[in-house]
Structure 1
Amino acid sequence: MSMLICCNGCHTPIQLPPGTTAFRCIVCRSIGNTASPSSAPILYPPVPPTTSSNYHGQKKAVIIGILYKNQKGELRGCINDAKTMKDMLIHRFNFNESSIFMLTDEETDPRKIPTKHNILIAMSWLVNGCKSRDSLVFYFSGHGGRQPNNTGDEKDNYDETLLPLDHGTQGPIVDNDINDIVVKPLPTGVKLHAIIDACHSGTVLDLPYLCKMDRSGRYSSWEDHSPKSGTGKGTSGGEVISISGCADHQYSDDTNALSKEKMPAGAMTYAFIQAIQNGQGATYGSILHAMRYTISTRYKPGAVGRKQDPQLTSGHHFNVYTEPFSL
């Protein structure tokens, strides 16, 4: 089983194969070794009990909702989103509550506050020790951003980012690091779904393929987003699919205009859950089509000049209208 440790320099969590003695941090690039006292194994979040059936192995999820209270750009619906998503995973997809690690800025447990350090630990925990038939979910509701990329490995020359609660001092979480932590380690037979309700989130997992839709909202083709350098952005044999709130150049809105109860929520999260609850969740294509229809017809963000088109990216090509959706 792999080992989860802290970087000697910046204390970022790092997942290492068994027997590893030296490593280079993906964030600060410093070289460390597992014999150092500062590289002691991380003991939290706790490993959940296995929830299994004849088909599924273990189910684990990390759910993050950030309001950025008392900060510029404070949001309203992200904790509601996180709670709704957790409820759906438990009651619709049979996740054990103890296998869900949730971070929000209303938590009092310091381990569950969505700082950059805690989010990186949670991401590493999610994939640590995963094996064939495991089903993993990474959900984020909060701010997303983008920054210039100078390495030439981005189609639009921008890196996409997620903003932790302390991004003002610790900086964002960049798509390259998200890919390194939760995508590349996945072994054969493991399936990870990322559900990202944030601005500029279309390719925030840095997956190699983007599902393109035509003007009617139907599947058109898979667009290749593999790095020009040829560097691999796929898994170690596992399967990753990301459903995100908008294209890389767009914004994901936080609104109370969609629900009848006028409860603040992310437009993407609301549309995703509505698609599942309304029986439109049979395939990935039906979910994406339903989400786009809900946002464009009920919310009409284009009326205020902000178009929002949920996106689907993947580590491999597949037929979005025949591939069954399941978590």
Structure 2
Amino acid sequence: MLDAFGFRRTKWKRLSLNTNVTAIQHPPFDEISPISRYSSVREQDRGSLTGNNAPNSKDKTPASDSDREKSKLNSHSTTSTKVAESLRPRKRALLVGVTYKNCRYKLKGTTNDVKNMRNFLIDSFSFNPQNILVLTEDETEPDLIPTKKNIEISLKWLVKDCRAGDSLVFYYSGHGLRQPDFDNDERDGFNETICPVDFLREGMILDYDINSTIVRPLPKGVTLHAIVDACHSGTILDLPYVYNRQTKAWEDNYAPSGARKQTNGGLAISICRCVDDQMLADTSAFNTKAMNGVMTYNLIDILRCPGVTYGDMLDLMHGSIEEANRNGCLTSRFLRTSCQKPIPKPVLSSSEPFDVYGKSFIL
């Protein structure tokens, strides 16, 4: 099975969608309480989704100054910092990039994807850096490595104590797989999964578990966006509606078993790299400094333009990919070298139908 990961990265040219337009501006939000890496999750919650306990953060040795200097992507204050919680809507994000270092199925651009997404959230949507939690293999603290346990804990953190007006973002760049569904919960007969860095030892994280952790608890007035740049990721949140761009309509994705996939009144939206049965070559977007994932790079480039709706976003992304596939990538506007396989088109799903051309994309 692992031989399927023997992909080769190519490079992309930058989309010609940058129009030097000022990034979307939003009314200022009061800063929320700086989120502690440990205090945001109760001790009894610090385990897998089955509730295994882990040592209290007070027993941990504080990171050295040199460690803090290396871990630039996380800006959390110390656990002793206490600031009055704002009554204004809050923004919180979990960004996960898995490289699978020293493995034959390693990826080269996932950490860059996370860095770009973090900067995008801060610069274009006014996210407070202290409310963005980043898990990559480049982090120096064990709790910030994208293991299965750490990802599960962080997913709980993302939705903990959320309330009306909150905007939450879950971003994942890494490998995705699928496995047979024996509970009749999937229309295609397979569970979609994401692969933590230790998935060969600890196992994958299933779409059902992601749904139960960050989708079902969402209360009314809370919006969650999940952006998943991985194979087999089309319905990774198990949301009940999938948008069909050809018919311009939402299609039913409810489980044959009748299993609940809805929120608790909130809105969950996911943008994923490809449909569930697609596995793709590890193609990369091109810029002058680093390797970047196709979907992530394309999405960020498009959303920097003000007033983009969900429908606009899909049309622009699909149009760019169709051009690349027609030209074999070599002469497209945003690919530098040839592609071994056609690039798949992203998938939009939601917990409830909405007018994709009437709703602006705002995080």
What range is the shorter-chain TM-score in? 0.7 to 0.9
Three-state SS of the structure 1 residue aligned to 2:236 is coil
1:70 aligns with 2:102: yes
Gaps of 5+ in 2: 1-39, 61-75, 330-337
For residues 129-180 of structure 1, the C-alpha deviation after alignment (integer angstroms, 9 at most, x for no partner) is 0000000000000001111111111111010000000001001000000001
Distance 1:85 1:134 in 2: 19
1:255, distance to aligned residue in structure 2 (A):
3.1
Task: Give the TM-score taking structure 2 as reference length.
Answer: 0.74
1:262, distance to aligned residue in structure 2 (A):
6.6
Residue 297 of structure 1 corresponds to which residue in structure 2?
A: 323
1:170 aligns with 2:202: yes
Distance 1:52 1:296 in 2: 45
1:41, distance to aligned residue in structure 2 (A):
7.8
Distance 2:198 2:343 in 1: 28
For residues 167-209 of structure 1, the C-alpha deviation after alignment (integer angstroms, 9 at most, x for no partner) is 0100100000000100011111100000000001000000000
Letter in 1 for 2:275: A
Whether the 8 Å contact between 2:97 and 2:113 is mirrored in structure 1 is: yes
1:284 aligns with 2:310: yes
Whether the 8 Å contact between 2:95 and 2:170 is mirrored in structure 1 is: yes
Task: Give the TM-score taking structure 1 as reference length.
Answer: 0.82
Distance 2:84 2:280 in 1: 35
Whether the 8 Å contact between 1:267 and 1:295 is mirrored in structure 2 is: no
Distance 2:309 2:82 in 1: 29
Distance 1:272 1:163 in 2: 22
Residue 210 of structure 1 corresponds to which residue in structure 2?
A: 242
Residue 312 of structure 1 corresponds to which residue in structure 2?
A: 348
Distance 1:50 1:174 in 2: 36
Larger radius of gyration: 2
Q: In angstroms, what is the RMSD of aligned CA positions?
A: 2.8
Does 1 or 2 have the higher relative contact order (CA < 8 Å, sep 6+)? 2
Distance 1:118 1:220 in 2: 38
Residues 123-134 of structure 1 mapped to structure 2, 5 A cutoff = 123-134=155-166
Three-state SS of the structure 2 residue aligned to 1:147 is strand
Distance 1:112 1:99 in 2: 14
Whether the 8 Å contact between 2:241 and 2:250 is mirrored in structure 1 is: yes
Q: For the structure 1 residues 278 and 177, does the alpha-carbon distance in structure 2 shift closer, same or farther, using more than 3 Å as the test? A: same
Residue 30 of structure 2 corresponds to which residue in structure 1?
A: none
Q: For the structure 1 residues 51 and 135, does the alpha-carbon distance in structure 2 shift closer, same or farther, using more than 3 Å as the test? A: farther
Letter in 1 for 2:170: F
Which of these residues, 176, 179, 185, is aligned with residue 217 of structure 2? Answer: 185
For residues 76-109 of structure 1, the C-alpha deviation after alignment (integer angstroms, 9 at most, x for no partner) is 1000000000000001100000000000011111
Report % sequence identity: 41
1:303, distance to aligned residue in structure 2 (A):
5.7
| Number of equivalences | 295
1:52, distance to aligned residue in structure 2 (A):
6.2
Gaps of 5+ in 1: 14-24, 27-31, 33-37
